[in-house]
């Protein structure tokens, strides 16, 4: 684990993967995930000519919690990390709950962000019926505790401790809850990575996960604010977020290119890693000019 001390004294934990001389890409992990979420055979990322940078959001893994954070706090951390690594312009990839964070960074950092790729991205809740597009019962329950956050915090600490005691069981349970993702979550190549990255996500008792969840309630910007090229990937059999959420987001992003994984679920990005990152390879000139 590498780390950076931010201006306010917090620690930002990060990793670098792929080609050290490649096109820089900052990957925003999902909610409930960590900087260790990636395709585990790094030769694939390296073969694409990409320098993949993954960072724990505050309260996740090795990054210090930032209480009361919003989506618009994350771009400052991304900019500080890029400055530390002497990267002026870069692309951003985001998966699931990392999608809104990726969009926030694109919104606030402007020309520093060349383009985006998103997989199974959570959409905003500013349209009627948008929360009904969240299919996962646990996620819906957390948002119902918005006005009793201390209850959610106590429950998260308990669940995190129990889950970390048997991470294989935890991943297997996720596979049972999301049948469309069973083959991905239990894939012999991918399953150990999920154990590792999800275990790392829970080391602070789930506080960063809850902070993500509260931040999603009010983005502080709208998808229409995004000016960079965007590609959106999703599975049409997603058991966690309804595909209609992705279709609505694509419409609001304007010129976004859409890619549908037929029969795929929420975690399909890890089974289609090269395809997901390919738009950034195609746009490599933008990332360095």
The DSSP-derived string for 86-155 is T-SSEEEEEETTHHHHHHHHHHHHGGGEEEEEEESPPPPS-STTGGGGB--HHHHHHHHTGGGHHHHHHH
Place 288 in a pLDDT band, splitting at 50, 70 and 90: very low
Q: What is the arithmetic mean of pLDDT over 170-189?
A: 97
Do 168 and 7 contact (CB within 8 A), yes or no?
no
pLDDT per residue over 54-63, tens digit each? 999 999 999 9
pLDDT per residue over 116-173, tens digit each? 999 999 999 999 999 999 999 999 999 999 989 999 999 999 999 999 999 999 999 9
Q: How far apart are CA 189 and CA 288, in angstroms?
A: 33
What is the helix, strand, coil percentage profile of the chain, to 5? 45, 15, 35
pLDDT per residue over 84-104, tens digit each? 999 999 999 999 999 999 999
Q: Say yes or no to pLDDT of 267 above 60.
A: yes
Check residue 209 and report its DSSP letter: H
Place 239 in a pLDDT band, splitting at 50, 70 and 90: very high
Place 284 in a pLDDT band, splitting at 50, 70 and 90: low
Task: With H, G, I as helix, E, B as strand and everything else as coil, classify residue 16.
Answer: strand
Contacts of residue 143, Cβ cutoff 8 Å, sequence gap at least 6: 131, 134, 213, 217
Place 282 in a pLDDT band, splitting at 50, 70 and 90: confident
Residue where the block lists tokens 């960074």: 105
């Amino acid at each position: 684990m590498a780390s950076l001390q931010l201006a306010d004294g917090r620690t930002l934990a990060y990793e670098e993967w792929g080609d050290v001389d490649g096109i820089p890409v900052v990957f925003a992990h999902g909610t409930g995930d960590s900087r260790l979420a990636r395709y585990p055979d790094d030769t694939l990322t390296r073969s694409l000519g990409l320098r993949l940078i993954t960072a724990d959001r505050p309260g996740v893994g090795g990054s210090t919690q930032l209480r009361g954070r919003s989506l618009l706090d994350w771009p400052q951390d991304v900019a500080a990390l890029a400055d530390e690594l002497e990267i002026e312009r870069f692309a951003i990839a985001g998966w699931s709950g990392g999608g809104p964070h990726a969009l926030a960074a694109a919104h606030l950092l402007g020309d520093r962000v060349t383009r985006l790729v998103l997989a199974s991205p959570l959409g905003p809740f500013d349209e009627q019926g948008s929360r009904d597009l969240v299919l996962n019962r646990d996620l819906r329950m957390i948002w119902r505790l918005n006005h009793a956050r201390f209850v959610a915090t106590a429950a998260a600490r308990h669940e995190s401790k129990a889950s970390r005691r048997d991470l294989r069981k935890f991943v297997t349970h996720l596979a049972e809850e999301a049948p469309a993702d069973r083959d991905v979550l239990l894939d012999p190549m991918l399953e150990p990575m999920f154990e590792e990255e999800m275990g790392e996500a829970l080391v602070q008792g789930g506080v960063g996960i809850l902070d993500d969840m509260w931040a999603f309630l009010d983005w502080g910007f709208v998808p229409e604010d995004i000016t960079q090229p965007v590609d959106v990937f999703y599975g049409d059999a997603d058991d966690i977020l309804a595909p209609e959420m992705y279709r609505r987001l694509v419409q609001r992003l304007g010129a976004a290119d859409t890619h549908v994984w037929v029969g795929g679920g929420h975690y399909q990005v890890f089974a289609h890693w090269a395809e997901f990152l390919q738009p950034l390879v195609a746009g490599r000139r933008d990332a360095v000019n």
